[in-house]
Structures are given as structure tokens and as C-alpha cells.
Amino acid sequence: MLNRLARVRARVPLLAAFALLASLLAACGSTQSSQKSGGTTSVASGDANPSAPLRRGLKIAFLPKMLNNAYFTAADNGGQEAAKALGMDFKVVGPSDVGASSQVSYINTLTSQRVNAIAISASDQNAVVPALTRARAQGIKVVTWDSDAAPAGRDVFINSTSAEAVGRGLVQDLGKQLGHKGQVAILAATPNALNQITWVRWMKTELSLPKYKQMQLVKVVYGQDDDQQSFNQTQGLLQAYPNLKGILVPTSAGIAAAARYVDTSKYKGKVIVTGLGTPDAMRKFIKDGTLKSFMLWDVPKMGYLASYAAAALASGQISGTEGQSFKAGDLGERTVGKSGEVILGPPLMFTAANIDKYHF
């Protein structure tokens, strides 16, 4: 009995040693496993190789907020130009409205089709994330452009320009035209799009400065990026606020509709409209004096940059980590910034003096 007890006791340290060794091996194994299963971010950042060759024949899909919109069509055209240069298979899909969840079914379809990359302008920063997350889990790279999704749903965000520059710049332009006096309103696109939320916030921040103390923001309304709804909202604002002096419109569909209403009304020359618009849509209103100026960026180049970013991601050149760089054709080398953001460049102010230099 004592001999058997002694033998058991002798085995205990040996068993403990094996147990410790097994736990250490398991720990190493679990760490490696978690890095692999922890999503695209950890693996991609480790695997990114800036010298990797660009893959040919990649399949990329552009998913704008809505189809048949001049602004998004211009971006799609820029994306297609880059895709052709890169030897990519390119297509555009999308809804006919900007509902919060209208893009989800398209994301799901593209995931089942196993495209290599989705380039999306998100109508709602959160509603698209579950579908985009599933796409990324299947190895599909996601580039947001124009309007971002929550970072969990994408790899890189192509931002047209600084949101602060847009919001503050539009207010500064309107302030100069009004002599920093009078009631003003904002006609935005939708309340859920991140770019609209951010631009409106910066507009309000700029308006809070002392030099705007005689400018009163009376209302923020939404035209749903729809021509007729934006036209009706403009009419409603001017009827509800007869002393309104200016309207800020950070949406290309909205500013065209607002300008069209003012152009044929008693308010022409009395109410200042400025905002974000495309040169082709706003040319008439600039030349007939309905508007003096408006702002935007080179929209086709934004789409062009989105395609190059998608190709770099799908080829393993970048993963979306801050500090990584990639070549973007005619736009030169671009660097990924904080939170995976790549900025196209500064905004452009369009006036009668320069509008004919741009066609999109």
C-alpha cells in the first residue's frame, strides 16, 4: 500500500509538468487562432505587402446611395475609368431611393456573387454594417466613399474632403453674401447619412461663432436626396419663414431643386442659395444669377480613387491600417490616415469665373 502511494506521489510532479506544457501549447494555439478568426483587420494588417502586384481581373461593384442621380453617376464614371485602367470587371448596382436599409439586399447579392470588392456610399452609417460585415467575412474588401459606414463595416473610407472644410466653408460663403445678417435654413439630404450629419454639425459650429450673431438658423429640413421633395421643402421654408435670407444645401439633388424653385419665384435675387452641387446641374443657375457660388470636389476623381483603393486592398497591398500607402494612377500615391480614411483633397468653389472649366 505504501509502495503504491509512493509511486502515485512520484507521478504527480510529472503529470503537473505535462499539464503545464499542454496549457502553454494550448495558449499559443488559441492566440494564433484568435488572430486568424479575429476578422479582416488583424490578418490583413500583418499580410499587407505594398510591393505585391496588382491582381488583374478583379470584380468590383459600385453601390451608390441611389441610381439616376447626377452626382453618383459622376462618381461611378470615375470608378469605371480607373477599373478599366486596372483591368477590373466593373458594375454599378443600387436602389432608386435613399432609404436607410435600401442598400442591404444589394450587398447580400454581391456577397453571394463573390465579388472581390464593394465600393459603397452608405445611405445609413449603421443599417448597412451587418451586411457589410458578412461580406468582409467572405473575404470581400469594402471601400466606402462620399458617405461612410461605421468602421466595423469597411476597410477604407474615401472622404471627398475634410468635413469641417465643407461645413464651415458653406457657412462662410453664405455669411459673406449676406453680410452676416438674416435668417437662414439648412436643406439637407437625409438625417441618417453620416456625411450629412457631420456637415450639418460643422455648419452649426461655424454659425455659433460671434461674427454670425446676427445670422439665425431657423430650421433644418430634409429632402431625401429627391428632386421633388427638395423642391417642396424649399417652397415650405420660404412660406413658413417670409424673412428667410439664405438656404444652405449640402446635397446635389437638393441644391438643384432649391435653385429651380427660387429661379422662377419672387425670391430670386432676395434669397441666397449655396451648397454642394455638380457643375453641369448648376451651370444655368450660376449664369442667370440665381446663385453666385457653390462648392463641391472633383466627383469623378473620388470614384477613381475608390477603385484604386479597392484594387490595392484586394491585391493585399494595403489593409486599411494608418500609414499604409498605395498608388492611385493619375492621382499619385495616397496614404491611409486615421481610422482608415483617405482624403481626396480640398473642396472647390464654383463661380461664373470657373464653372465652364468643369464638366460632370
Name residue, grid cell 488583374: 56
- Average pLDDT, integer, range 232-236: 98
Report the alpha-carbon distance of residue 160 to residue 195 in Å, rounded.
Answer: 10
CB 300 within 8 A of CB 360: yes
Report the alpha-carbon distance of residue 287 to residue 281 in Å, rounded.
Answer: 12
Q: Chain-centre distance of CA 272, in angstroms? A: 28
* Residues 6 or more apart in contact with residue 334 via CB below 8 angstroms: 305, 308, 309, 325, 326, 327, 328, 342
Report the alpha-carbon distance of residue 41 to residue 154 in Å, rounded.
Answer: 10
CB 107 within 8 A of CB 332: no
Find residue 215's DSSP bridge partners: 182
Q: How confident is the model at residue 47 (pLDDT cuts 50, 70, 90)?
A: confident
CB 97 within 8 A of CB 78: no
pLDDT for position 7: 40
pLDDT in tens, 93-133: 999 999 999 999 999 999 999 999 999 999 999 999 999 99
CATH topology of domain 163-296: Rossmann fold (3.40.50)
Find residue 350's DSSP bridge partners: 294
* Residues 6 or more apart in contact with residue 189 via CB below 8 angstroms: 98, 196, 222, 223, 224, 225, 250, 251, 253, 254
Domain limits of the chain?
59-160+299-344, 163-296
- What value, to the nearest 5°, has the Cα angle with vertex 70 and ends 178 and 352? 40
* Separation in Å, CA 21 to CA 16, 131, 358: 9, 42, 69
pLDDT for position 66: 96
C-alpha cell at 297: 470636389
- Domains 59-160+299-344 and 163-296 equal at CATH topology level: yes
pLDDT in tens, 132-148: 999 999 999 999 999 99
- Average pLDDT, integer, range 344-360: 96
* Cβ neighbours of 55 (radius 10 Å): 15
pLDDT for position 26: 34
Phi, psi of 359 (to 5 degrees): -140, 90
- Average pLDDT, integer, range 280-288: 98
C-alpha cell at 42: 488583424
3-class DSSP assignment, residue 118: strand
Q: How many residues does the chain have?
A: 360
pTM recorded for the entire structure: 0.82
Name the CATH architecture for the domain at 59-160+299-344.
3-Layer(aba) Sandwich (3.40)
pLDDT for position 20: 35
